[in-house]
């Protein structure tokens, strides 16, 4: 018998069909809220402390009061996994400004809302981790940090969605986004790394990218294995001439890119450094985090 999915909303658990928010919620009306995408591996919620810390940092940045303390939020995540039988899966944690009115001011929203969804996920087919992804460069440029800082995982993802529409129209599963100055920033849902002569490059956060938790983990794992990792600006020239490229993200983990704007990268398959880091990442996730 299939277990019925249960979703947490503001202290209560609802079935999927019954889980609803108000049409006056500012998260819906204005994209006014924040979220975290979190993974569970082998009975543990991976990097739960880091995800919750980042959620509260984002909340502080947009003057949003999370309607629970950090431990209570962690408890909700663990409960969501238990109630849904998730030992390997994906958790989406959302905090919206809450119910208000049609006015823009958040002062009309007396109480924030918290939502937690735990489910299984497979962002890319398994074979893509061997053959790699096709990626296209989007015309849509990445938001500047002086406008909406991409380090805030806000519910306003239209910038990314517009770039993803470009990828979809070109039959690509991901799009590469550049800054206004033409520097490589990140993809619509993942951070990017390139490898040249065994040196690993990734854009610095000050260019307006998310400081991804998987990104930070991979940087540490690469350094432990003796690789030089440099956070530096680079252009499409460096992307096209790279020996290997891979993306990192909570859902994607580590996945190779083997075709960018119709240019073959490396051998056209996942390279040895990417494969080594993916293996190391999978080993590292075992038993890491909060036990479900």
CATH 3.40.50.620 assigned to domain 128-285? The reply is: no
- The whole-model pTM stands at 0.94
Coil, strand, or helix at residue 121? coil
The first and second tokens of residue 158, run together, are 């239209």
Mean pLDDT by runs of 10 across the 292 residues of the chain is 88 97 97 97 96 98 97 98 96 98 94 97 87 97 90 94 98 97 97 98 93 97 98 98 97 96 96 97 92 96
> How do the domains of the chain map onto residue ranges?
6-119, 128-285
Q: What is the pLDDT of residue 196?
A: 98
| pLDDT, the chain, mean | 96
DSSP 224: H
- Rg of the chain in Å (alpha carbons): 19
- The first and second tokens of residue 44, run together, are 């543990």
pLDDT digits (tens, 9 = 90+) for 87-128: 999 999 999 999 999 999 999 999 999 999 999 987 788 899
Whether residue 153 lies in the annotated active site: yes
CATH 3.30.470.10 fits 6-119, yes or no: yes
What Å distances lie between residue 64 and 32, 57, 91, CA to CA?
9, 10, 21
What pLDDT does residue 113 have?
98
**Contact present, 189 and 142 (Cβ < 8 Å):** no
Contact of 13 with 3, CB cutoff 8 Å: no
Catalytic position from the list 153, 223, 279, 291: 153
Q: In whole angstroms, what is the distance from residue 163 CA to residue 88 CA?
A: 30
The helix or strand, by DSSP H or E, that contains position 168, with its residue range, turns out to be helix 158-169
pLDDT of the residue at 47: 96
Q: What is the structure's pLDDT at 285?
A: 95
């Amino acid at each position: 018998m299939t277990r019925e999915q249960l979703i947490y909303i503001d202290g209560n658990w609802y079935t999927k069909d019954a889980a609803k928010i108000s049409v006056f919620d500012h998260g819906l009306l204005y994209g006014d809220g924040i979220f975290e995408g979190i993974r569970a591996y082998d009975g543990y919620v991976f990097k739960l402390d880091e995800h919750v810390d980042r959620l509260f940092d984002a909340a502080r940045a947009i003057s949003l009061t999370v309607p629970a303390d950090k431990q209570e939020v962690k408890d909700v995540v663990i409960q969501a996994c238990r109630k849904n039988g998730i030992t390997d899966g994906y958790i989406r944690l959302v905090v919206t400004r809450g119910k208000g009115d049609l006015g823009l001011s958040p002062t009309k929203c007396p109480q924030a809302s918290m939502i937690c969804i735990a489910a299984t996920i497979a962002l890319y087919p398994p074979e893509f981790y061997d053959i790699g992804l096709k990626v296209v460069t989007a015309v849509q440029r990445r938001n500047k940090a002086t406008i909406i800082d991409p380090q805030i995982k806000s519910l306003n993802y239209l910038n990314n969605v517009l770039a993803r529409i470009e990828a979809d129209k070109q039959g690509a599963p991901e799009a590469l986004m550049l800054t206004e100055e033409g520097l490589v920033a990140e993809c619509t849902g993942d951070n990017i790394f390139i490898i040249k002569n065994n040196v690993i490059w990734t854009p610095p956060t000050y260019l307006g990218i998310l400081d991804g938790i998987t990104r930070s983990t991979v940087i540490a794992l690469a350094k432990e294995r003796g690789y030089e990792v440099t956070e530096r600006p680079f252009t499409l020239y460096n992307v096209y001439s790279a020996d290997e490229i891979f993306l990192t993200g909570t859902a994607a983990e580590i996945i190779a890119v083997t075709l960018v704007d119709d240019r073959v990268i490396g051998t056209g398959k996942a390279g040895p450094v990417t494969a080594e880091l993916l293996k190391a990442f999978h080993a590292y996730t075992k038993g890491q985090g909060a036990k479900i």
